Amino acid sequence: MQDLITAKVHDESRQGEAYAPFANDINDYNKKFYIESYGCQMNFSDSEIVASILQGEGFGATRNYEEADLIFLNTCSIREKAEQTVRKRLTEFKKIKQAKPSLLVGVLGCMAERLKSKFLEEEKLVDIVVGPDAYRTLPVLIDGAESGQKSVNVLLSREETYADISPVRLDSNGVTAFISIMRGCNNMCTFCVVPFTRGRERSRDVDSILNEARQLFEQGYREVTLLGQNVDSYYYVPDSLSSMSNEEFTPVTFAKLLEKVAQISPELRVRFSTSHPKDITDEVLFTMAKYENICNYIHLPLQSGSTRILQLMNRTYTREWYTAKVKRIREIIPDCGISSDIIAGFCTETNEDHAGTLSVMESSAYDMSYMFFYSERPGTLAARRYADDVPEEIKKSRLKEIVELQNRLSYNSNKKDVGKTFKVLIEGNSKKSDADWMGRNSQNKVIVFPKENYNFQKGDYTMVRVNDFTQATLIGEVVNV
């Protein structure tokens, strides 16, 4: 029996579990580890890097934390609720540790840097604290913790991209995978902790990205998602550029990287996340339009539909800029799916500002959105500059209106797809019935359809006509097989 890693993805919008088998039997390992991941896709991707490092050190993986010798939580600081969830989980593990003193508990990721002293000294919840740029030091930190020391490394790097580490895929379907193309963020949005917890932007070398994508395709994966806090800022210049002439080499932009990955095979779908409205270029849009296997889907965070609030957020675009960008996307890629992030109740937000958000949502006609009310995060520019002066009951009321509007927009978007036929990549069984397949179309919409007598497997493509829908799912049947 193969041993398994477990990674639980937690945020306010979705929850799930993913398991991936190792090549070795669990009995080959004397020690076992368990990982839970919270928050964004980047954290999930980081857990795959950590799993690879730990496997290289002889740790086996388990889905049962009670039999683990080492437990890690890969944490998120973007919202208060995520931090509360992690604290509760650490308290639960502390009780297990009391019955099993040899157990080591560690915190990875964004909370590690921000709350290291509280975790280690004040609350004594953990033995190891590791920031996002320090995962290579895990073997040394584990050795130190095993000898009774409190082990910490939260130093940020201007160079680390983990380009040479082959991630252990924490995805049971064997069809879709993440590829991290860059780390950090330079945007300094006032509500966000990422620049302080993940450091400055640095792009991974293009050859390592392409090699990882090719390897995944050869292993049977049929979709990759290129990940970055702001993928449109990807810009790779090799160290050897100084010895080359301009004719011999041109720095690789995100549009060029996207094209290179798409050219690996027309059977390999390519997605990316996340785009910043100020940075996504026509070159990227035309590249998407040029290649059928680059999915027609863009996650384009709005945050607020008020120019005044956007300025307070330091988003560096206006309401008009954003709506013009959405219009440009529709011009170049008419059937492009668009989703967004929206924050209700940011500092000083008025009813007029809130109404502006609703109107931009209407005009953008999002297929889906991640929606939250503002949660002040310690250490951010907003926490230092502005008063969190919108009462919580008003935040929740405005968020309710935003959610209700998005529900209607999602319903209308899916309704328009009835009668259309889409190319679907099969990801696995439907959650509700093993008699149905579940897959996604280019626009990132989930489509469920009956298996019937077709001889499909996970990773196959097929054409599906949509006959019905729910707010979240399209329902169809196979055609033209």
CB 242 within 8 A of CB 233: no
- Side-chain-side CA neighbours of residue 37 (13 Å): 25
- Phi, psi (degrees; rounded to nearest 5) at 356: -65, -40
CB 406 within 8 A of CB 367: no
Residue with tokens 């040479």: 164
Query: In a 3-state reduction of DSSP, which class is residue 389?
Result: coil
Q: pLDDT digits over 421-439, tens only?
A: 999 999 999 999 999 999 9
pLDDT of residue 13: 32
CATH number of the structural domain 296-416: 3.30.750.200
Q: pLDDT digits over 224-276, tens only?
A: 999 999 999 999 987 655 444 454 568 999 999 999 999 999 999 999 999 99
DSSP string, 84-126: HHHHHHHHHHHHHHHH-TT-EEEEEEHHHHHSHHIIIIIS---
82 burial (CB, 10 Å; 0-12 / 13-18 / 19+) is buried
CATH number of the structural domain 173-295: 3.30.750.210
How many whole angstroms separate alpha carbon 153 and alpha carbon 131?
6
How many whole angstroms separate alpha carbon 360 and alpha carbon 304?
9
pLDDT of residue 171: 57
How many whole angstroms separate alpha carbon 107 and alpha carbon 86?
9
Q: Which range is least confidently modeled, 6-10, 125-129, 135-139?
A: 6-10
How many whole angstroms separate alpha carbon 108 and alpha carbon 188?
22
What mean pLDDT is predicted for residues 455-474?
96
How many whole angstroms separate alpha carbon 321 and alpha carbon 300?
13
pLDDT of residue 172: 61
How many whole angstroms separate alpha carbon 263 and alpha carbon 81?
41
What mean pLDDT is predicted for residues 278-288?
97
Nearest to 453, CA basis, from 466, 437, 470, 476:
437
Q: Homologous superfamily of 2-153 in CATH?
A: Response regulator (3.40.50.2300)
Tell me the percentage of the chain whose pLDDT exceeds 70.
90
Band of pLDDT at residue 110, cut at 50, 70 and 90: confident
pLDDT of residue 240: 59
* Tokens found for residue 337: 């799916």
Q: What residue ranges do the domains of the chain occupy?
A: 2-153, 173-295, 296-416, 421-478
pLDDT of residue 236: 94
Q: Homologous superfamily of 421-478 in CATH?
A: Nucleic acid-binding proteins (2.40.50.140)
pLDDT of residue 203: 96
Distances (CA, A) of 155 to 160, 333, 472: 11, 42, 41
Query: What angle (nearest 5°) sits at the alpha carbon of residue 265, between those of residues 295 and 178?
Result: 55
Q: pLDDT digits over 67-97, tens only?
A: 899 999 998 876 777 778 888 898 899 889 8
The b/e string for 16-36 (b: 16+ C-beta within 10 A; e otherwise) is eebebebeeeeeebebbbbbb
Do 173-295 and 421-478 come out as alike in CATH topology?
no
How many whole angstroms separate alpha carbon 288 and alpha carbon 129?
40
Residue with tokens 């009813």: 351
50 sits in which H/E element: helix 41-56
Q: pLDDT digits over 180-211, tens only?
A: 999 999 999 999 988 888 889 999 999 999 99
* Tokens found for residue 159: 């160079």
Mean pLDDT score of the chain: 88
How many whole angstroms separate alpha carbon 176 and alpha carbon 438?
13
Q: How many Cβ atoms are within 10 Å of 155's Cβ, its own excluded?
A: 12
